[in-house]
A = this chain, B = another copy of it.
Amino acid sequence: MTDNQETPDAEDATPSRSTTLPPPPPLRPPCERLSCHKTSVCSRSYFVVVMVFFHVYIINVIALLFYVHYNSGQDDANRSRDAPTGNHQQRPESGRPPSKPEFLRDVSLTRIEGIRVGHVQKVSLVPGKVHEMRTLSLKPLLFEIPEFLSEDECRVVMQLAQLKGLMESQLMVQDGQEELAKELNLSPDEIFNLLDINQDGELQLHEILTHSRVRDGIWLTPENLREIYAGLKADKDGNGLLSLEEFRLLSNDAFQRFLMQQGVKRSQLVRNSRHTWLYQGKGAHQVLQDIKERVTRLTRLPPSLVDLSEPLQVVRYDEGGHYHAHHDSGPVYPETACTHTRLAANTSTPFETSCRYITVLFYLNSVEGGGETAFPVADNRTYDEVSLIQNDVDLLDTRRNCNKSNLRVKPSKGTAVFWYNYLSDGRGWVGEQDEYALHGGCVVTHGTKWVANKWINIDPDYQRQARYQQLVSQQPEDEEDEEGLTLNPDIQSSDIHEDL
């Protein structure tokens, strides 16, 4: 009730000020300004003016106080819902984040309600059109919006990508575990112990694959592993299992050399596609800017967060192309840095992930055969990493087992799907990774598949995100969009919705 304090102030101050103020500067007498003719009448009309002002003023203040009181009541109720831990000190009543090192968390990220699988809600994304958004799963929270892009927009995006040129998407993944093992000084016995999930003293094929399916960018199947065992004579007793002794004799280098000798086919890669990146800021093709704005409306997130996210990724899968199931962004522990806020984080940590809170995936064409987006464990009752490979069936293998996925989305030109890679933290910010967001691109059996990805990067550590945004907004170059740089989404996102 800041305004309540102003009211008595104004009332009390006026008479005292009028006595202590210096005499007014030599103005023309006020009578002349109001063109009245007699001094006695004049002083009465002055009195009337004062009284009218005074009453209008008081009525106005009372009306506004009522309005403000009612409004802040609603606001508090909404906030208490957003902060169910009763942890109110985290989200104080204050306004915008001050320019201090410690940022007050006054921003609440919208998370769209899924209600139930099959629920349809109408959304306004472009003037004069209502889109339907259907809930495809709750774990992950996943939606489908047909006709999100027009045919023309799809064509323009594909053409722009081709003009820019696409590069091989192959991720030459370094086996991080190997380096980590060196760093942590783990002995072969300790590594064996870590890999032996069921602790039976033998390494089953699925125990090795659960731990790392990817070796130097090559996707390992149970058959591959058997071939390698045979080639390296690793499994001396030929029982298909590795004992501790067999494991000790198996050198990492030999493993790698064997893989490389064999030669690698594209179909053996984790990801068999080409892609490019299209910037969406000022000066970009209008279609790209439109898409960015539409994504902001769709996700109801602060425009600044969308503006500061990765560019649009356009991907082409030729016949035979695929992308085995993966997470777009990894788990975040206190020591994990986000790629986008790393500069502002001011820490050095070996752990880093892209912190892609949301993935928006656009289908730019309808594929003749295959190419579905598969979510192997969507809405599973439980998530069990180990059970993802059972009886030589690897649910993450999108060349073989897409048909066993819980959910498959068929590509349809112009349709967008989007999902959250992270849960809520229960207080309106990004929480833990959602393991159920595991997904992949099934093999394209006929034709070509074109998709685009828009990722929205948000650091689960609010302080780092805020510091990063402040840093970017202070950059001297004036190219950045001023309006897009505040973290406070409340006015901006409401503006967007009021436009509709």
Contacts and interface: CB of A to CB of B under 8 A. Distances in A.
Contact of A72 (B43, B63, B71, B133): B71
A124 B80 CA distance: 11
Nearest to A81: B110
A163 interface: no
Chain A interface size, as a band, is 35 or more
Interface in A63-79: 63-64, 67-79
A21 interface: yes
Nearest to A135: B426
Given A43-B29, A381-B379, A494 B77 contact: yes
Interface stretch (A45-53, A226-234, A339-347): A45-53
Most buried by B among A6, A81, A119: A81
A43 B44 contact: no
A337 to B, nearest CB: 24
Contact of A46 (B30, B72, B123, B498): B30
Contacts of A34: 15
Interface string A346-366: 000000000000000000000
A497 B76 contact: yes
A128 interface: no
B64 A53 contact: no
A23 B88 CA distance: 56
Contacts of A75: 71, 74-75, 78, 494
A235 to B, nearest CB: 37
A154 to B, nearest CB: 24
Given A68-B68, A381-B381, A80 B300 contact: yes
Nearest to A3: B64
A438 interface: no
Contacts of A13: 52, 56
A424 interface: yes
B57 A53 contact: yes
Interface string A466-500: 00000000000000000000000111011101101
Nearest to A11: B56
Nearest to A96: B70
A39 B43 contact: yes
Interface string A3-43: 10010001001110110010110010111001000010011
B21 A431 contact: no
Contacts of A111: 81
A302 to B, nearest CB: 9
Contact of A494 (B80, B130, B406, B493): B80
A397 to B, nearest CB: 21
A78 B108 contact: yes
A14 B47 CA distance: 12
Nearest to A22: B48
B49 A121 contact: no
A171 interface: no
Contacts of A300: 77, 80-81, 84
A139 interface: yes
Contacts of A424: 113, 115
A127 interface: no
A334 interface: no
Contact of A60 (B3, B29, B117, B495): B3
A199 interface: no
A122 interface: yes
Nearest to A132: B85
The 10 nearest A-B residue pairs measured at CB: A76-B494, A73-B491, A77-B490, A80-B497, A74-B490, A46-B46, A86-B124, A30-B47, A10-B56, A81-B110
Given A3-B64, A31-B43, 17 more contacts: A23-B44, A29-B43, A30-B50, A39-B43, A70-B95, A71-B71, A71-B72, A77-B490, A77-B491, A80-B110, A81-B300, A85-B121, A85-B123, A86-B122, A86-B500, A121-B426, A380-B381
22 contacts: A3-B63, A10-B53, A10-B56, A14-B53, A27-B47, A46-B46, A46-B47, A57-B60, A60-B61, A68-B68, A73-B494, A74-B75, A74-B491, A75-B494, A76-B494, A78-B108, A79-B494, A80-B494, A80-B497, A84-B121, A84-B123, A119-B426
